[in-house]
Each structure stands twice: as structure tokens, then as C-alpha cells.
Structure 1
């Protein structure tokens, strides 16, 4: 069997990370096997260990990939707005939408990986990747806040971001009941009202 070129190997690695980032957000780490990830990437199970030492190593890279994708989506979403506060509300509106609720594999990695990360040991590479990604998104969100001193902006951003995350988690958990959309709507309206005050 001929060896895969370096370029093809890198493309395969990226395909595995992309598939894992989507699948882990959709079904959690325990809900997905290595074979399923490889199949979703269009590759055979046997090639996995040529790219990763373990499923845990893949999870850490997939988490980093998911946060990188979120960063790119945020940049595109914010680009049309000159005022940071408008960009912030665009993030709020997207995050607290039915489409975000219904597409866990393509939406927020903060929500998608949180349950698995919470069960990881303190020195886990997955926990490290998650924490770094979360810190970056929080810094971006804080930068979109108007006025006030940095300490107040940071505190408000932490509270608002926590509300967004919590509302999305609860909305997914109650999908199919009217409460699901009520949770999204209440959080979205609260955050819009804060912006106007």
C-alpha cells in the first residue's frame, strides 16, 4: 500500500478533527466511538493511531478546533457592525436562537463540551483546551461591552455569558416543550434590555 503524502495526511488529520468537533458536540465523548469519528471523516478506523495516541488526545484537539471555528464565526458575525454593542447583540441573538439550539454539532463549543469537561480531571488536556477556548471567547465578549471600567465590564460579561450558556443548555434539555423557546426568549430580552439601559 502506498504511503500517504504529507499534504494528504494533514488533510486527513483536519477531517478527523472537524468530524470529532461536530460529533462530540452533538453526542458527547462517551456517545461517539473512534470508528464513528473516522467514518464521519471518510477514513478507515485503522488510520486513527497514525494521527492520535488516544481518543482523549483527539478530544482535546477537537475541542480546540471547535473553539477556533467559533472564533471565526464570531469574527464574521461582528464584521458588519461598527459599534461593538451591536456586534454583541448579534452574538446574543445568534446564540439564543432556535437554530443554535437545534444544531449542537455546529454551535457553541462552550455548551457542547461542558458536560464532558466537567467530569475530566484537573490536569486533563481536554480541560486545558476548553478553558483556553472559553477564556478567549469571554475576552472577545467583554471587548464588545460599552463604557464602564474594565473590572465592571468583565463582571457583567461573565454574568451575561453565563446566562446565555445556561439558557441554551436548558433550552436543549427541554426541546419539544414550550418552555424551551421561552427560556431562549427570556434570556435574549433580558440581555437586550441591559444594552438599552
Structure 2
């Protein structure tokens, strides 16, 4: 079993209602170093670089979610991933889990005292599939935040309503969840999609 990866596109401009779809992707893109012909003065090489400039009302994924690797079990079990910068993965009895454990991490750029609503609209369960069509389920999506204070209101926004507290308007949140592993779960890399909705106002 391989990592569950999540991607969130960066969208410019403040929005009153923005829908973000999260899907399988790489955390970053690496460009190969292009070797140049040797000259009398020595060797040279070039590399590309890129940067994205965000405007208030933007959100960007800064880390993917990963449950690590699990030894094929004889009995069903779960792996609970905490939503934290230093996430933990707790496997139920009978499961052997190794490797990277990482919560999905997102950065929000707004303005101090803006309110943000976050909602999981996947219906509470995400299906992960292997290339051969085998599946597992992840549910119980959880959230932790930094630079925001939870506030009341916003019924129906199941991941909460928050006020930005930072002077520069930059905040973060992390997502975790519970992975359900079947007995004799077929080997493979499983990937899924979770869809969340973020509203600025």
C-alpha cells in the first residue's frame, strides 16, 4: 500500500465561494540540470526555477497526505492519521505500518480578521483505488489549524468556521483521517480524491 496524495490548486483573487478539488499529484516539480559542453575555462550548468505569487483570498497545498506502507494483513484494521505538522499514524492491532506518515498541509493567504469556512463535501468517505481496481476507504476527515481561531456559525461547514489572527494574513491547516484496510488487502499503490470547499468572506 502506497501513499495517499492530495493536491490543491492555487487560485488568485478573493472569492466568496471557491470549490477546490483535491487529487493525486506530486508535491513539487524538479527540472533536470542541463549540462553544457566543457569549455577552456571549466564546466558550466544551468537549472530552472519558478515561483508563484499569491494574492489575498488564495490557498495552496504545501504537503501531501501519506499513510506510509502497510504489510498485507490477515485481518481488517485501521490507520488513524492525525492532522498535525508532525503527524502520527496509529495502526490498529494486527497491522504493521512503516514509512512516511504525513498530514495534508495547506497555506491560506487572506487578511487579518477575515472569516473562512471549510467543508468536506466528499460525503464523509473517500474511496482509494489501486491500478488494478482494488479499493480501500478513508473517512473521518479531521482538521487542525494554525494562525486561525475557531468561531461559531456557518452551519453545514463540517470542518469549521475560523477567523484569521495573523497580521500578515497567512495561516495553515492540516487534514488527517482514518484509513480502513481489508483482510488480505491486495498489494498496490492506492490513491484517492477528497474534495473540500473553502469560503472567504
TM exceeding 0.5: no
Q: From the CA coordinates, give the structure whose radius of gyration is larger.
A: 2
What TM-score does the superposition give when structure 2 sets the normalisation length? 0.22
What TM-score does the superposition give when structure 1 sets the normalisation length? 0.23
Structure (1 or 2) with the greater helix fraction: 1
Structure (1 or 2) with the greater strand fraction: 2
Q: Which has the higher contact order (CA 8 A, sep 6+)?
A: 2
